[in-house]
Structure 1
């Protein structure tokens, strides 16, 4: 299903069906925060993900605004992933609302599997999803976005020229706003135009590695495999203050709370980290980051806070602060807790199941 968070809220509150619905922040359109998900009814008014809630209210004042309930969305997502694993254990979880399935070893046609998956999710959970079927992740992801909502799209290599090349370059994974603007500056607007650009020119503009990546992606080439287990590189938490903060003690209290939340996540994952960093965004949106390496890896809130505080000491607090975040990286398995890891490399046909909108940010 599209607009995952909004769809879950409609499932919980059927009276919201058919109404413009905006999920974001604490659900207060006059408070700071951004849109996490907007229902299709709200999108008709120009509301989209990552838009400030105030702007969303200006465009669609009749919308129902609700806070993000990540715990409930994660619970529903886990049920969906459990259904998917019954069809193929080769599942790559790429977020709360999306997954890749490698079905190349299964005998049933992938289109039949897709319909069976959709029916199971609809029957058992009450939600719909969009599924893309293709030989690789890149094409499967694009396919999952082509026929929304509640669609099944099959792409093969022969479809690249007719169905992929006419699309805007932004549809390619790895092409964000900055890369899109740089490509448009040299009159490259579609994937086909990118595919027709010599690799040497792209390498000169973006560097050899990124230039080759862009060119291969435009050709529909992708050799990434389904990864059934992915180790997190870091754990982080951040807060956007409802009013800009100029008091250091208030910042320290927020830093302590964030440090403890990160510590709880690390302990739950059986991990410790060797680096502590902070992100600080001033009221004028200038952002500063600082990182400190610890003498001993830790998952203790007090040690994380000490490192975060040392990072804060290295920033001149000459303006009020809008956002503050804590991050612990360089993770390793705790010696006191053994965790099992597994990875599977497989090539062949893949399904991408998209439960949300491609612009929905992670929460």
Structure 2
């Protein structure tokens, strides 16, 4: 009678997936929502960004004609194939893809479709952790109790179809024993991909990938790893943990070693209270604090109104109001003020932010303006002031 190897015996006794954790990522989300509005643009290079709206028919602006400071919010996969990507300046992108179509962002529509896809997922798999407008983690363990790869794949296919039925949009899912691997895997077979990875798959599927693909290894850490001769996740997994701690510090060094080996015990957190809400805008041109005061005041009012709407929609008020300014030399200044009573309306937010503004020397043109409310409290659990402050003039 033959004998099973230890690895085979382990697979017979243990499920392939100790936990079934999925990361669902919408495919080119903002651009895909725009294609629902403009289906005639499917298959073309389309970039979303800037402030100029697209037209109808053949009247869509091209990237080559854009003038301004805007950046790409997202792009279709056809545009990405030309070398453009989110976060890239539109003027630089125009050099790479001058004929790409440019559409302005419509965040109200994106939030609408975000709510739709998340509701569709929760109807099938309620253990959801919201990570942003276009991505979520899902704990599928209760739906896949035997931890089988086929079971995980079938559930992922059902979720994918539910999202498509609810929104007309596609998504990609990675399913793995933990959140770190699931997020990495959701990006491997885009668009409309499903990737299921077990611990046994790490050497073949994960370790050949660049180390920078791990969420948490940023450009600086990746560059430092390359300087030290570590390019792939496998090379990082094989590095001496003590050596990593010598070069990256104890905490981050330990994390690097564990992440490369696919270790992550974080749970899917279904209830998460936000610490703050904020709104900010980057101007097309730098605005002068005195010469452009009317425009600055109008922009500030709009930011406070949007932030108040966000607070109302999510059911919060907050006791601390913050201001953020970035000047034309890229120097960023923040100020905040803690109030005796929580606020949530636009006028109160604007008044408090105006008080913060008085503590900032306004001797340079302003590139970015932002407002934040923190120390959040549930609106239904917080006492509100009887008298609301009146709206004061900004930049006086």
TM-score, normalization by structure 2: 0.79
| Structure 2 residue corresponding to 1:31, chosen from 58, 68, 72 | 68
Which residue of structure 2 lines up, in the alignment, with residue 148 of structure 1?
190
* Shift in Å, 1:59: 1.5
Which residue of structure 1 lines up, in the alignment, with residue 270 of structure 2?
228
Residue 146 of structure 1: SS of its match in structure 2? Answer: coil
* Shift in Å, 1:123: 4.2
| Structure 2 residue corresponding to 1:59, chosen from 70, 93, 96 | 96
Distance in structure 1 (CA, Å) of the matches to 2:309 and 2:170? 34
Residue 132 of structure 2: SS of its match in structure 1? Answer: coil
Q: Which has the higher contact order (CA 8 A, sep 6+)?
A: 1
Would you say the 8 A contact 1:270–1:337 is kept in 2? no
Residue 285 of structure 1: SS of its match in structure 2? Answer: coil
Q: Kindly tell me: are residues 275 and 93 of structure 1, through their superposed partners in 2, closer, same or farther at Cα, counting changes over 3 Å?
A: same
Deviations, residues 135-179 of structure 1 (Å, cap 9, x unaligned) = 111111111111111211110111122221221122111122232
Deviations, residues 194-221 of structure 1 (Å, cap 9, x unaligned) = 2223333333333322222222111101
Pairing of 1:167-178 with structure 2 (within 5 A): 167-178=209-220
Residue 36 of structure 1: SS of its match in structure 2? Answer: strand
Distance in structure 1 (CA, Å) of the matches to 2:47 and 2:70? 12
* Shift in Å, 1:62: 0.9
Could you say what the CA RMSD is over the residues aligned between the two structures, in angstroms? 2.2
Residue 175 of structure 2: SS of its match in structure 1? Answer: strand
Structure 2, unmatched stretches of 5+, are 1-25, 54-65, 146-150, 384-396
Moved more, 130-139 or 189-198: 189-198
Residue 72 of structure 2: SS of its match in structure 1? Answer: coil
**2:143 is the alignment partner of 1:101:** no
Which residue of structure 2 lines up, in the alignment, with residue 18 of structure 1?
43
Would you say the 8 A contact 2:120–2:166 is kept in 1? no
**2:310 is the alignment partner of 1:273:** no
* Shift in Å, 1:128: 2.1
Which residue of structure 2 lines up, in the alignment, with residue 41 of structure 1?
78
Distance in structure 2 (CA, Å) of the matches to 1:282 and 1:107? 52
Which residue of structure 2 lines up, in the alignment, with residue 313 of structure 1?
358
Which residue of structure 1 lines up, in the alignment, with residue 153 of structure 2?
111
Which residue of structure 2 lines up, in the alignment, with residue 304 of structure 1?
349
Distance in structure 2 (CA, Å) of the matches to 1:314 and 1:201? 46
Which residue of structure 2 lines up, in the alignment, with residue 79 of structure 1?
116
Pairing of 1:175-194 with structure 2 (within 5 A): 175-194=217-236
Distance in structure 2 (CA, Å) of the matches to 1:198 and 1:331? 43
Deviations, residues 82-108 of structure 1 (Å, cap 9, x unaligned) = 221122111112122111211111158
Would you say the 8 A contact 1:271–1:299 is kept in 2? yes
Distance in structure 2 (CA, Å) of the matches to 1:4 and 1:264? 23
Deviations, residues 219-273 of structure 1 (Å, cap 9, x unaligned) = 1011111111221111101111122111243444433432333223223333222
Larger radius of gyration: 2
* Shift in Å, 1:335: 5.1
Would you say the 8 A contact 1:255–1:308 is kept in 2? no
Q: Kindly tell me: are residues 4 and 257 of structure 1, through their superposed partners in 2, closer, same or farther at Cα, counting changes over 3 Å?
A: closer
Distance in structure 2 (CA, Å) of the matches to 1:81 and 1:228? 12
Structure 1, unmatched stretches of 5+, are 339-363
How many residues align? The count is: 338
Which residue of structure 2 lines up, in the alignment, with residue 350 of structure 1?
none
Which residue of structure 2 lines up, in the alignment, with residue 4 of structure 1?
29
Deviations, residues 278-331 of structure 1 (Å, cap 9, x unaligned) = 221112222222233323332233332233223222222222111111111121
Which residue of structure 1 lines up, in the alignment, with residue 255 of structure 2?
213
* Shift in Å, 1:49: 0.4
Would you say the 8 A contact 2:289–2:362 is kept in 1? no
Would you say the 8 A contact 1:255–1:309 is kept in 2? no
Moved more, 275-284 or 286-295: 286-295
* Shift in Å, 1:274: 2.3
Distance in structure 2 (CA, Å) of the matches to 1:210 and 1:291? 31
* Shift in Å, 1:63: 0.9
Would you say the 8 A contact 1:252–1:309 is kept in 2? no
